[in-house]
Structure 1
Amino acid sequence: MNDSLPGAGFWALLNPHTGDLGDVRRTARGFSSDLTAIVECEKGPFFVKAMRNRPGGRRDSLIREALVNPFVVPLAPALKWQAENDEWIVLGFEAVEARGAKFDVDSPDLRAVVGLLGRIGELPLPGVAEGWAETRWNRFADDAADAALFEGGALLYTDINPSNFMIGEGRTWAVDWSWPTRGAAFIDPACLVVQLVAAGHSPEDAEAWAGRCPAWVDADRRAIDAFASANLRMYRSFAERRPDAAWLKAMETTARSWAAHRGAPV
């Protein structure tokens, strides 16, 4: 352990679930959490994800991740336990032997990634997600009619990026279900398209990969066009608000390339 880890009170909270501690290794991913780590322990190992127990979106996202987990296993690592006190809220997941996927043009991981995304698209919407309507792109749509095209009854993962698809020996997992929603099924493959273009794919090639997902094949072309435009406006807005964040400007450029490819308003 090192000085950047939480104090003794944190580990006392986890002790009924972990038993005696061994090694604690912080992970490189988990950008929005106060702590993500592999915890070697008497009852483990576990992947531990923790946030300060304060009202707001970050706490709510951890609660949502715990609620949806039983419905997305085995496509995601299983949640083994939860712990909470006035200071912390903590989830303990099974630890999997895996690495982050690669999204670049020649990556051998893409078939597994697309296959897993297709399986996510086949999951039934659990009752806990009925009230989790997807609205993040609505305010960037041309009008209410376009925003309505993003509505639907599919369980959406949405947090699609290379570090969230874990490649193991003969198996792939989608991790970090921090903000699953209910919406139009094509949105997950559309998010994959954006990430693939950001990784160096042409829009045509990225859409060809998305075309392996039934949700993309069955989608209304107008809905995808409306989403591409809204996605561009979203990243443009974010980049304008944070001009020093180079990655947001890069995502705006990515979104513009895809929208232009579709002939959507840019």
Structure 2
Amino acid sequence: MAGDLTDDLRALIQPHTGKITAVNPAGGNDSDVTALIESENGSFFLKAMHNRPGGRRNSITRERLINPYVQPISPPLRWHTENDDWIALGFQAVTGRRADLRPGSPDLPVVVALLNRIGELPLPDVAQDWEENRWDRFCTDEAEADLLKGNALLYTDVHESNMIIQGNSAWAVDWSWPTRGAAVIDPAQLAVQLIVAGHSATSAEHWAARCTAWEKADPHAIDAFAAAALRMHQARSERFPDAKWLGTIVAAARTWADHRGVPA
């Protein structure tokens, strides 16, 4: 949504924002509205979705529920509100830039440190039932899928746009789908994103291996994820053939799977 908010959404959030003085749309594909709001009550990052049953509503609900347990790694949620038409979250606004994952970037150790901080978070009771199962159908059998099970709190949206850096500070934003699973999944996602950013598979694993969860992982679990991730991205790319960015991720996932010698 560009330029401004609909009248009904504006009316819904104004009890929390006060008078809204500026709306700056932000990027994002998973919400109906993402914007930086300037208002008499301060600056907020707004994330809003149409209030309809289904996965997207479940996602924004999870993001609200997990927020108290992922601070200060993630900006705090200052308010939330909903009616029959909308569900909206207002986060404390943070300034910075997205992480640079390219080879030689000074952000690489900062990103690794951020993932290690996430890996140290305890699994809260609210996430006990959020078992990670998105890769199950892309595994060859139940035993392979079991390698991706675990009791770690997972971020599962490792991407340069979701890691915000300002000086020595870093935040992981957009906790749209936290789950409970094998701790290695987050650094394994980083490996794919590093290849997308221009790293060789060897370089990507060099940086991912600096994550504590990778160091402690069963190598067979890493193999299982690499193969399942390739199959998942291939399936998504076939479903959305016009999304060229999916093709880029497929190529990166294939490079990594080939490096590890796992079948597609």
The TM tier, using the shorter chain, reads over 0.9
Q: 1:6 Cα shift?
A: 2.7
SS at match of 1:167: strand
When the two structures are aligned, how many residues end up with a matched partner?
A: 264
- Letter of the structure 2 residue corresponding to residue 25 of structure 1: N
Q: 1:242 Cα shift?
A: 2.2
Structure 1: gaps (5+ residues): none
- TM-score, normalization: structure 1? 0.96
- Letter of the structure 1 residue corresponding to residue 43 of structure 2: P
- The equivalent of 2:129 in structure 1 is 131
Out of 105, 111, 114, the residue aligned to residue 112 of structure 2 is: 114
- More displaced 10-residue stretch of structure 1: 159-168 or 236-245: 236-245
Structure 2: gaps (5+ residues): none
Calculate the aligned-residue CA RMSD, in Å.
1.2
- The equivalent of 2:22 in structure 1 is 23
Q: 1:3 Cα shift?
A: 6.9
- The equivalent of 2:171 in structure 1 is 173
- Letter of the structure 2 residue corresponding to residue 174 of structure 1: A
Out of 90, 93, 96, the residue aligned to residue 92 of structure 1 is: 90
Q: Deviations over 1:50-106 (max 9, x none)?
A: 111111111111100000000000000000000101111000000011111111112
- The equivalent of 1:200 in structure 2 is 198
Q: d(CA) in 2 for partners of 1:128 and 1:172?
A: 25
- Letter of the structure 2 residue corresponding to residue 20 of structure 1: K
C-alpha spacing 1:103/1:126, structure 2 compared with 1 (3 Å): same
The share of aligned pairs that are identical, in percent, is 56
After TM superposition, the structure 1 = structure 2 runs for residues 5-84 of structure 1, keeping only pairs within 5 Å, are 5-27=4-26, 29-84=27-82
Q: 1:4 Cα shift?
A: 4.7
Out of 204, 210, 224, the residue aligned to residue 208 of structure 2 is: 210
After TM superposition, the structure 1 = structure 2 runs for residues 148-187 of structure 1, keeping only pairs within 5 Å, are 148-187=146-185
Q: Deviations over 1:144-195 (max 9, x none)?
A: 1000000000000010111000001320000000000000000000000000
- The equivalent of 1:105 in structure 2 is 103
C-alpha spacing 1:256/1:49, structure 2 compared with 1 (3 Å): same
Q: d(CA) in 1 for partners of 2:200 and 2:23?
A: 41
- More displaced 10-residue stretch of structure 1: 244-253 or 138-147: 244-253
The reply on whether 1:222 has 2:241 as its aligned counterpart is: no
Q: Deviations over 1:29-53 (max 9, x none)?
A: 2221111111111111111111111
Q: d(CA) in 2 for partners of 1:165 and 1:245?
A: 23
- Letter of the structure 1 residue corresponding to residue 6 of structure 2: G
- Letter of the structure 1 residue corresponding to residue 89 of structure 2: L
Out of 177, 186, 189, the residue aligned to residue 188 of structure 1 is: 186
Q: 1:7 Cα shift?
A: 2.4
- TM-score, normalization: structure 2? 0.97
- More displaced 10-residue stretch of structure 1: 162-171 or 176-185: 162-171
Q: d(CA) in 1 for partners of 2:217 and 2:114?
A: 19
Q: 1:110 Cα shift?
A: 1.0
Q: d(CA) in 1 for partners of 2:114 and 2:248?
A: 26
Q: Deviations over 1:192-240 (max 9, x none)?
A: 0000011110111111111111100000001111111111111111222
SS at match of 1:45: strand
- Letter of the structure 1 residue corresponding to residue 189 of structure 2: C
- The equivalent of 1:251 in structure 2 is 249
SS at match of 1:189: helix
